[in-house]
Chains A and B, each alone.
Chain A
Amino acid sequence: MKNPLNKRHLRELKNDFGKYLALFLFLVATTGFVSGFDVASSSMIKAYNDGFTKYNIEDGHFILREKATDGLINAIKKEDTSLYELYYKNKALSNGHTLRIYKNRNDVNLPCLMEGSLPQKETEIAIDRLYAENNDINIGDIIEVDSIKFTICGFVSLSDYTALFKNNNDTMFDANKFSIALVTDKAFENLSNIGLYYCYAYKFDAELNDQDASDKSEEILDVLIKNVSGMDTDEMKEQGEDMATLLSMMLMLTSDDNSDIEGTVKDAVKYYLGDDGIIEDFVARQDNQAINFTGDDFGSDQVFMNYLLYIVIVVIAFIFSITSKNTIEHESNVIGTLRASGFTKQELIIHYMTMPIIITLAAALIGNLFGYSIMKNIAAAMYYHSYSLPTYVTIWNSKAFILTTIVPGLIVIAVNLYVITKAMQHSPLSFLRGEIKNNNRKRVANLPNWKFLTRFRTRIIIQNKSAYFTLILGIFLSVVLLMFGMLFNPLLDHYKETVLESQIADYQYILKEEANTSIEGAEKYAFTALLNEADEEISVYGIEDNSIYLSSITLPENENGIILSSAYREKYGLAVGDTIHLKEEYGTNNYIFEIEGFYDYEANLTAYISRINFASIFDEEDDFYNGYFSNKELTDIHEESIATTITASDLTVTTDQLKDSMGELFYLFYVFAMFLFVLVIYLLAKMIVEKNAKSVSIMKILGYKSSEINSLYNTSTAIVTIFSLLISMPLSNLLIAQIWKIMILEFKGWLPYYLQPVIYIKIFIAGLLCYLIVHIMQMHKISKIPMSDALKSVE
C-alpha cells in the first residue's frame, strides 16, 4: 500500500501555491542562469579548444624589424617547426582607432567567418565582428585606410585574437578602438609600409603539451637570437658586453675619437640583443593574452557562477528547512499521534523532506532546460559581446548538470535532513504535548519595562529568531549581490576620473629609436618594462631630476632607491623601506630596489628613478632616453620612430572595455539580487504571520483592528529588515573589498576598490521598496485570517 501521507504533498503544494511557486521560479531562474552560463561557456571552451586544431593556431610568433633571412628561416625549420609569414600593418583610422591589417590567411591562425564573406577584391576588407558591433559598423560600410576606401565585406573572428589585445603586455584588451582586419594580398601591398611589422608565426610539427611547447618555444627563441646575433641566449648575455668592450678596444687603436667608436660598437651589439634590436617581440602561445585570455576567463566565470548558485541554494535550503520546521511544530499533535500509532521517525523525516527535494530537483531540471534554451543564448550573447569568439555548437555538459542539479539537490537534502532530523528528535509524547519548541521549557526572557507594543514586538522577534536569522542572512546575501551589481560602473567611472586626473602628460611617447623634437615642453625620459616577483609587468621610468611633469616626485639619490606608484603600493601592500625584486622578461638580469617613497598614480604599476640612475642601472649611455612626456602633440617626430603614443583614451582602455563587456553581467546581478530580496522577505514574513495565525485570530476577537495587528507583526519584520539592511551594507562593503583584493591580484594592472557613497542610499531605498511590496501582501494576509481560527480545535 502506498503511504497515504504522500497525498498531502500535492495538496500542500496547492494550498501554499504562492510560496512554492516563488521558490520554484527563483530556483529555476538561478539554476537556469548558472547552467546557461556553464553550458555556454563550456560549449565555447570546447569550440575555443577545438579551434587550436581547427584554425591551426600558432605555437608562438615573433616580430622582427627586418625580414627574416633564409638562414634564420632554415634554422627554425630544422627545429621541426614550420614558419609562416604573418606580416601586418598597424593603421590609424580617422577616429583614432587602430586597425591591424593582415593578408588573407590560408595556413595558420585561420579566420572564422562570422558574417558576410572574406575579401576577394582589392577594395574589400573583413574586420573583427566584435569591433564592428561595438562601433555600429555594418557590412557594406566604407572605411578609409591610407586614403584607400575599403568596403566591409565580412565580419571575422581571428583565432589568435579572441581577445583583442593590441599589445601582449596591455592590462586589458580593447575591442572598442582596436580591430584586426583581413584584406587581399594585393590590397595589403597597396597600403603604405608605415606601421609594417614583420611578424612570423611558428608551429611545431609535432603536437606538444603545454610544458613541452613552452620549452620548445625557448629553444626557438634561442635559435632566433643565435641567428640574428651569432650567439645563443646565455652566451649573448655573458659575452655581449665583453665583446663590445673588446671590439671597442680594437677600434680605439685605430681611431682618435674613442668614445664615438665605443658607442657605435655597443649600439651594433645591442641592435641584435633585442631591446631595441632586430627582435621586436617574441610571444610563445602560452604567454599570448590575445589567445589565452578568453579561455582563462571562461573558467573563472564558471567557478564564480557555481559559487553564486550554491550560496543561493544554501539560503533556499534554510528557507525550506525553517518552513518544514515550522510545519512540524504546527503539526506537532499529528506527528505525535502518527508516532504513537507506529510511524517511524524515518518515515516522517522522509515525508517532510519530500517537498523541498521535489521542488529543488524539479526546479533544477526545468532550470537546466531553461539554461540550455534561453539562458544559454543570453550568456553566449554576453560572451560574444566581450570576446571575438568563433562560432560554437551547444554541447551536453554532464559536469554542468551535476553542478547545477545534483549538487543543489544534495545541499537541500543535507540542510533539510539536519534541521528536520533535529526537529524530529523529540519523543511522541513531546509532540503530543506540543513540547517540541526549544524555548517552551525555558523561562520567558525578561524584557525591560518597555511599552506594551515594543515588548510584544520584541517577543515576536525572539519567538521567530531562527526565521529572522535566515532573513538577516538572506538580506545580507541580497545586499552583497546588489552592491556587487551597483558598484561596478561607478567604480570604473571613478577609476577613469582618477586616471585622467593623474595623467602625467597629454601625450606620452615611447620611441623605437632616439628622435629629437623642437616642440616646447617635451621632456625626455627613459623607459623599460620589467617583471616583478608575481611576474607582473612593471613600467620603470628614468625621469629628469627637475621633471615638470612629475614635479611632486623627490627622486632617490641612492642608486638602489626607487619611487613606486600608489597603485603598486595598494596592490601589493608595500611600504617605504621594503625591497622589490624586478627582473627582465627575456633576460637573466635581476634588480633589487629599496622603496623610498610613493607617487600618487593610480593608472598603472609604475616605478620611478632618475634618468642618470636609469642609465647606470640598465647600462645605457648617460643621455639615454626612449620617450617623451609632452602636453602638445610631437608632430615633428617621424611616425616610424614612435613605438607607442599614450593619450587619455589609451589610459581608459581598461575601464571602457571592462564596462562594455561586464556591464550586462552586473546588471543581471542587480536584478537577481532584487528578486532574492523580495523572495526572502516574502517567504519568511509569510511564515511568521502563518505561525501566528491563531494569535492574530485571538487578537481580532479581543477587538484589535487589522491595522493594529499589522503594526505588531509586520512592524517586527520591518524592524528586522531595516536592521539587517543597516548592518548588511557596511559588512557587504568589507566583504566585497576583501574579495576585490583577492580578485585584483589575479588581474594584470590595478583597479582600486571604490564604493560610491550614494550606493548605500540606493540599496537602502531598494531594500525598503522590496519590503514595502511584501508588507502590503502581508497586510492583506493578516486581514484575511478569520476569527474562527482561534476557536477551531482542528488545525
Chain B
Amino acid sequence: MRRRIALLPLLAACLSTLLTGTLGGAQREAAAAETRAWPEIVEAAKGQTVYWNAWGGDERINAYIAWVGERVWDDYGIMVRHVKLADTADAVSRVLAERAAGKTEGGSVDLIWINGENFATMKDNGLLYGPFTEALPNFALVDFADKPTTLVDFTVPTDGLEAPWGMAKLNFIYDSARVAETPGSIPALLDWAKANPGRFTYPTPPDFLGTTFLKQVLIELAPDPAFLQQPVADDAQVEQVARPLWEYLDALHPHLWRGGKTFPASGPAQRQLLDDGEVDFALSFYPSEASSAIANGLLPETARTFVLDEGTIGNTHFVAIPFNASAAAGALVVANFLMGPEAQAQKQNPEVWGDDTVLAMAKLAPADRKRFEDLPIGVATLAPEALGPTLLEPHPSWMTRIEAEWQRRYAR
C-alpha cells in the first residue's frame, strides 16, 4: 500500500507538467529575417553540430550527405549528423511536437531536406527560420530564370524560407534487355500494362514518387490542368478534375504487379524489384539515376531511361531550417555549401547521385563551369533535350486531397 501512495504524487506531478507545459506552447512564432553578415554567420557556426533531417531511403544519397559532412567539417569546423528519415513528414511532425511542448529554442532538428506539402505545412504554421536565403552568398548563383521552381515550390512562393538544392524530374527506368518498346504517354502505359500483366507498379502513396505518379496521371488526363495550379476550391471541383485519374487507376490496377493489391514501399524498393525481374519499370526523380545505379551495382548494364512525350513533372527540392533550430548558423553554412558549385557538381555526377544542379552555368566562374562540363554522362542518361517538357507541380492542396482519396479507395 505504501508503494501506491508514493506513486500518486509523482503521477500528479507528471500530469500537471504535461498540461501546463502544453498550454504554454500554443503561440505562433513570427518569422524573423536573417540579418547577420556572412562572415559573422560562419564564425558563429564554427564548432556547431548540425542535425540534418533528410530522407534516408537511398544509399547513394546518404553517401553524398556523408561526403558533405566531411567537406564542411574540413572547411568550417561544422559537424553534420544525418538523421535518416523514412518520410520527411516525420521531421515536420517532430518540430510541431516541440512547439506543442513550448520548446521554442534548442530544437532537435537543424536542417530539413524538404519541398512541396511539407514545406507548405511548415510555412503555414510558422515553423521555419528566416527568410535566410539572401544571406547566403551562393544563392545568387541559382538559375531563377530557367528554373522558376527554385522560387516557387509546388505553386507556393518560397519567400526565402528554403534554399534550393536540386532539380528533380520524373522519369522511368527499364531494362532494355527485357523491354523493347516503352510507352510514350499515360494512356499508352495502360495499354502496355494490359499487354504485360503484373509487370508494372508504382510506389505506394504517400511515398513521394508514388504521389508524383498520381499527379502525372492527373495532369495528363485532367480536362483543364490549369485548375491544378490554384488551391482546391471545393469538393465538387476535386471530384470533377480527378475523375479521369480514378477511372484510369481502376482500369490500371488489375494489371499491376500483385494485381494492384500491394505496392512497393518506395522508389528504391521498386528499383530493387526491377533488378530482381519482378517488374519491368521503376520510377525515378533523377535523370541520371539509372546510370548511377548501374555504376553502383544496383541495376544491370542494360538499364535505360525513358520519359513521356507530353512531358513529366519536375520540381525543385530544398533545405529549410526550423524556427527552433539549435544550430541555425551551422545550418545556414551547410545550406550555402550545398548550393555551391563544388557540392552541386559532385551531386550531379551520376557515379555519386546524379541529381541535376540548381545553378545557372552562365553565372559561374570558368573553373566552376568546368566542373560540370567534365562530369561523365552515364550510359543510361538521356540528353537534356531528350528529357521532354517539364510539367509544373500542382498546388499542395491537390496532393493532400488525392492522397487521402487514394487511401480511401485502394488502401482498405
> Do A and B interact with each other, yes or no?
no
Chain A residues proximal to chain B, CB less than 8 Å: none
